[in-house]
Structures are given as structure tokens and as C-alpha cells.
């Protein structure tokens, strides 16, 4: 069954979109086609189910919305492409772990389209870039490894967190937050294109202190919101196909 792409437009309020996703999934049947919703939000902080208030230092005039997705706090705002896949995973034929992998792969392929190398970090969903060389194809030592392989351990004194994910030398360019109910997905992925990144300084992004957030513009890639939205939505439609 084909997936339809639905543009919600730009400068869209978050809360009505969140309500619409819930309503869509509540009303869907086994024959409801899957959809990808593409939009840009007005400034908002969203908290995941396990979100801790101490990760938001100074929201100022930016609203904070409690949601039922996984993960901690993140920020949405102008200059960011947000895509919400509304999929029936049972019909698609894969599980949540592969769903997350496929979303991340679509982001990596989108970045590749613009000449940037995206990376995964073990234990931290989302996509990251090397701050010193965003085009480098060199594998990260802190990338996820297959079970049975020796996991990466940062050296003592390196400044890396020895117990959690290691973000040394990296900036986060795409955030992921999902919810699956009755085998159907909502929430999704956000790719930073050309934003005011200051609001990220008011939070611990995704619950990680000191994690730097970047966008395509700050790493030297000038691309329009429309082009980034078009590439990402088509990569997602391709990689999320059954």
C-alpha cells in the first residue's frame, strides 16, 4: 500500500498537530493508508513521557508541551523540517527497533544528498555529525556495534561520559521521538536546516548535558527548507516501505 505525503505547511502550532496525529490513529482501520506528515513548527519545547523538568532551565516565552512519546525534552522551531510517519508496523512487516533504524537511515541518506556524513551513536537515538569535518566518512568509535562485539569505552580523562553515550566532537543534527500504539506509529523525526539554535542552550537536549545541537547552515550547507523537506520526506517514504 502506497504512503501518501501530506504537507501541513510552515509555522504550524504543535498542539493541534499532536491532537490530529492521535485522532488519525484512533480512527484508522486495517485498510487506512499510511501517511507522512511534513511541517515546520512554531517555537515549542516538547517533553517525552520520562521527561524531567530539570532538563529545562529557562523556557522563557517558549511553551512546554507534555507528550506521550519516548525520550526527554527537545525543541522545535522555524528552520527545522519535522516529519511524522503514521504507519501500521504490523502491515509494514517490521518491529520498532528496525523502524527506528529505517528512520535514521533515511536521515543519513538525506544528509548524504547534501554532502554531509551522518552518524549513529550507541545508546542515543538520532543522527550526529562531526563538528571538525562534517563530510568525513571515517567511522565513529562510539557507533553502535553488533551484539558480541567489544563495545567502545572512552578513555579515562577524555572528558567523555564513561557511563552514557559519548558525544565527543559531535553535534546533533536530527532528533527522533516516537510512539507506537496498537502497532501504529506517530510522532517522528526533526532535521535541523537553518535555525536559531539559541533555544537549545536553555535545555539539556534529549536529556544530555552539554550535547551540542547543530543545523545544516552552521556546518556550511546552505539549503532551503523546501528542498530539505522534499528530500527527507522522499527518503523516508523509500526507507519505511514494507
Residue 76 in domain: yes
**Pair 165, 208: CB distance under 8 Å:** yes
Residue 98 has pLDDT above 80, yes or no: yes
Phi-psi region of 151 (alpha: psi -120 to 50; beta: other; left: phi over 0): beta
- According to the model, what pLDDT value does residue 238 have? 96
CATH assignment of the domain containing 75: 3.30.930.10
Band of residue 147 on the pLDDT scale cut at 50, 70, 90? low
**CA distance linking residue 156 with residue 162, whole number of Å:** 8
Taking residues 84-103, report their average pLDDT: 96
For residue 188, tell me if it sits in a domain: yes
**What is the pLDDT, as a whole number, of residue 207?**
87
Residue 100 confidence (pLDDT):
96
User: Cα–Cα distances in Å, from 97 out to 14, 102, 158?
Assistant: 26, 9, 31
Residue 3 has pLDDT above 60, yes or no: yes
State yes or no: pLDDT of 192 exceeds 60: yes
Q: What residues make up the domain containing 103?
A: 4-148+166-239
Q: What is the pLDDT of residues 14-60, one digit of tens each?
A: 999 999 999 999 999 999 999 999 999 999 999 999 889 999 999 99
Number of domains in the chain: 1
193 falls within a domain: yes
Grid coordinates representing 145 are 556495534
**Which pTM was predicted?**
0.92
Is residue 133 domain-resident? yes
Tell me what the pLDDT averaged over the chain comes to: 91
- Active site (catalytic) residues: 206
Q: Is 162 exposed, middle or buried (0-12, 13-18, 19+ CB in 10 A)?
A: exposed
pLDDT band at 2 (very low <50, low <70, confident <90, very high): confident
Q: Could you tell me if residue 156 is inside a domain?
A: no
DSSP assignment of 97-131 equals HHHHHHHHHHHHHHHHHTT---EEETTEEEEEEES
pLDDT tens digits, one per residue of 116-141: 999 999 989 999 999 999 999 888 88
Mean pLDDT over residues 3-16, rounded? 96
Amino acid at each position: 500500500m502506497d504512503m501518501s505525503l501530506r504537507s501541513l505547511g510552515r509555522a504550524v502550532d504543535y498542539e493541534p498537530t499532536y491532537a490530529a496525529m492521535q485522532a488519525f490513529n484512533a480512527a484508522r482501520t486495517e485498510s487506512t493508508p499510511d501517511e507522512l506528515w511534513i511541517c515546520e513548527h512554531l517555537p515549542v519545547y516538547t517533553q517525552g513521557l520520562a521527561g524531567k523538568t530539570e532538563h529545562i532551565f529557562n523556557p522563557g516565552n517558549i511553551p512546554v508541551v507534555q507528550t506521550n512519546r519516548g525520550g526527554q525534552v527537545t525543541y522545535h522551531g522555524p528552520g527545522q523540517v519535522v516529519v511524522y510517519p503514521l504507519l501500521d508496523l504490523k502491515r509494514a512487516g517490521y518491529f520498532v527497533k528496525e523502524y527506528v533504524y529505517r528512520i535514521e537511515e533515511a536521515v543519513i541518506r538525506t544528509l548524504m544528498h547534501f554532502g554531509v556524513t551522518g552518524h549513529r551513536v550507541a545508546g542515543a537515538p538520532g543522527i550526529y555529525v562531526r563538528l571538525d569535518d562534517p563530510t568525513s566518512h571515517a567511522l565513529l568509535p562510539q557507533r553502535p556495534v553488533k551484539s558480541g562485539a567489544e563495545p567502545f569505552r572512552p578513555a579515562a580523562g577524555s572528558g567523555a561520559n564513561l557511563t552514557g553515550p559519548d558525544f565527543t566532537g559531535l553535534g546533533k543534527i536530527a532528533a527522533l521521538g516516537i510512539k507506537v500504539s496498537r502497532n501504529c506509529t506517530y510522532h517522528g523525526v526533526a532535521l535541523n536546516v537553518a535555525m536559531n539554535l539559541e533555544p537549545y542552550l536553555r535545555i539539556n537536549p534529549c536529556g544530555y548535558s552539554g550535547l551540542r545541537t547543530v543545523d545544516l547552515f552552521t556546518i556550511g550547507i546552505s539549503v532551503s527548507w523546501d528542498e530539505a523537506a522534499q528530500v527527507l520526506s522522499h527518503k523516508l517514504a523509500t526507507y519505511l516501505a514494507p
